[in-house]
């Protein structure tokens, strides 16, 4: 019985160690899979965000080009209409009102130059406004992206700390349980050795047999658990 009891204890301890090792392997595999999934989701969201930003920039460039072309067409139409009007007036009044036609041409030219300069100033203002708006949008997007990166880093740090705390608590619980079980088995073994020494006496043989049956029943119930 002294040889059989340590063998049973060693088999139970080896099964317990194998079970704990399998749990740790499964937990490490689950953690690596979760990290890969989180990285994949982050990459997909970033790619979607970059595609949306590219589409928005393309739309903005197309809108600005269309606006520039429309402004040029309007200015050219106005200038051409006024030029045609001035030419028609010069042709009708060239014989009798040459001096008046020249003065009218000068006034038309001055007016056209003023309109042209005014249109140039308007274009410059529009270009500055568009550039300022574009810089402001880029700054806003960059700030939002940096804030998103900071939030992701903070979440990742919190997850790592929580995982470390969980691992340490599980390790402490397993070690304390194993230590209590080992101490209990050591006490039982010491008690068994003392009883066996006392049971060597003929007068206490019946009590030793009863105690031995009780110990065997206790060990079998623990093995079933």
Please write the tens of the pLDDT for every residue from 128-162.
Answer: 888 888 888 888 888 888 888 888 888 888 888 88
Measure Cα distances from 145 to 108, 150, 217 in Å: 55, 9, 67
* Predicted confidence band of residue 74 (pLDDT cuts 50, 70, 90): confident
Say if 176 falls within a structural domain. Answer: yes
Given this model, what pLDDT does residue 201 score?
Answer: 59
CA quadruple 62, 63, 66, 67: dihedral positive or negative?
negative
Question: What are 41's two structure tokens?
Answer: 């989701």
* Structure letter (DSSP) for residue 204: G
Nearest to 204 by CA among 217, 218, 215, 194: 194
Say if 75 falls within a structural domain. Answer: no
Say if 203 falls within a structural domain. Answer: no
Say if 2 falls within a structural domain. Answer: no
Q: How many structural domains are present in the chain?
A: 1
The stretch 64-73 carries a mean pLDDT of 80
**C-alpha angle with apex 185: 183 to 190, nearest 5 degrees?**
95
Q: Which residue has tokens 């040029």?
A: 72
Q: What is the pLDDT of residues 84-124, one digit of tens each?
A: 887 777 777 677 677 777 777 888 888 888 888 888 888 88
The stretch 71-86 carries a mean pLDDT of 82
Q: Of 25-29, 67-71, 191-195, 197-201, which has the strongest mean pLDDT? A: 25-29
92 against 66, higher pLDDT: 66
- Polymer length of the chain: 225
Say if 33 falls within a structural domain. Answer: yes
Say if 139 falls within a structural domain. Answer: yes
Given this model, what pLDDT does residue 108 score?
Answer: 85
Q: What is the pLDDT of residues 32-51, one digit of tens each?
A: 888 888 888 888 888 888 88
Range of the domain at 18: 11-49+90-198
Say if 78 falls within a structural domain. Answer: no
Question: What are 192's two structure tokens?
Answer: 């068994």
Say if 207 falls within a structural domain. Answer: no
**Claim: this prediction has a pTM higher than 0.85:** no
* Predicted confidence band of residue 223 (pLDDT cuts 50, 70, 90): low
């Amino acid at each position: 019985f002294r040889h059989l009891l340590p063998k049973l204890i060693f088999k139970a301890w080896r099964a317990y160690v194998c079970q704990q090792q399998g749990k740790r392997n499964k937990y490490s595999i689950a953690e690596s899979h979760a990290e890969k999934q989180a990285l994949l989701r982050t990459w997909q969201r970033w790619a979607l965000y970059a595609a949306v930003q590219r589409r928005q920039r393309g739309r903005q460039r197309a809108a600005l080009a269309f606006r520039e072309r429309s402004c040029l067409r309007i200015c050219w139409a106005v200038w051409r209409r006024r030029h045609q009007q001035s030419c028609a007036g010069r042709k009708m009044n060239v014989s009798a009102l040459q001096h008046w036609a020249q003065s009218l041409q000068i006034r038309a030219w001055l007016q056209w130059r003023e309109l042209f300069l005014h249109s140039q100033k308007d274009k410059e203002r529009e270009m500055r406004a568009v550039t300022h708006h574009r810089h402001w949008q880029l700054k806003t997007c960059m700030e939002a992206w940096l804030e998103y990166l900071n939030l992701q880093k903070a979440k990742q740090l919190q997850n790592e700390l929580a995982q470390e705390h969980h691992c340490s608590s599980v390790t402490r619980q397993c070690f304390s349980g194993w230590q209590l079980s080992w101490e209990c088995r050591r006490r039982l073994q010491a008690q068994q050795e003392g009883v066996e020494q006392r049971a060597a006496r003929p007068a206490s043989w019946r009590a030793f047999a009863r105690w031995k049956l009780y110990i065997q029943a206790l060990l079998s119930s623990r093995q079933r658990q």
